[in-house]
Amino acid sequence: MILVDSNIPMYLIGSPGPLKTDAQRLLERLVSDRQRLVTDAEVFQEILHRYASVNRRYDIQPAFDTLLNAVDEIFPVDRETIERAKQIVLSYREFSARDAVHLAVMKQHGIHQILSFDTSFDRFPGIKRLA
């Protein structure tokens, strides 16, 4: 199982460039390998926040569609997740709150791989970043 981070759909719908090409290639490979791709509710909040903050609301639906078409399941962010995220933030100063939520979801569901261009995930024990 692999968690898909918000930067993947954002690059996929964005302007041409090396990260867009990398995101397409990686996602196509994982799909052809029949990997189970998942995400969490926080990823959708990140997409909403990013595109609303830069007044690009027209990109919200394409980003949602891209992510919804790629993943098999969306995990909720519940009380257990938030408690785990709090412990990660308190234990590891290098992780943002949003990264801590993703890591908490991963830990909660036994996920050890993340599809993300965010190199901060490289520093969390037991997690392998696939981008």
SS (H, E, C) 108-120: HHCCCEEECCCHH
pLDDT tens-digit readout, 51-105: 999 999 999 999 999 999 999 999 999 999 999 999 999 999 889 999 999 999 9
113 has pLDDT over 90: yes
- Identify the bridge partners of residue 2 per DSSP, sorted by sequence position: 37, 113
CA 30 – CA 99 distance, rounded (Å): 22
pLDDT tens-digit readout, 5-47: 999 999 999 888 889 999 999 999 999 999 999 999 999 999 9
Find tokens 């569901």 and name the residue. 109
* Confidence at residue 17, expressed as pLDDT on a 0 to 100 scale: 85
What is the 8-class DSSP label of residue 80? H
Domain architecture of the chain: domains with CATH: 2-129 (3.40.50.1010)
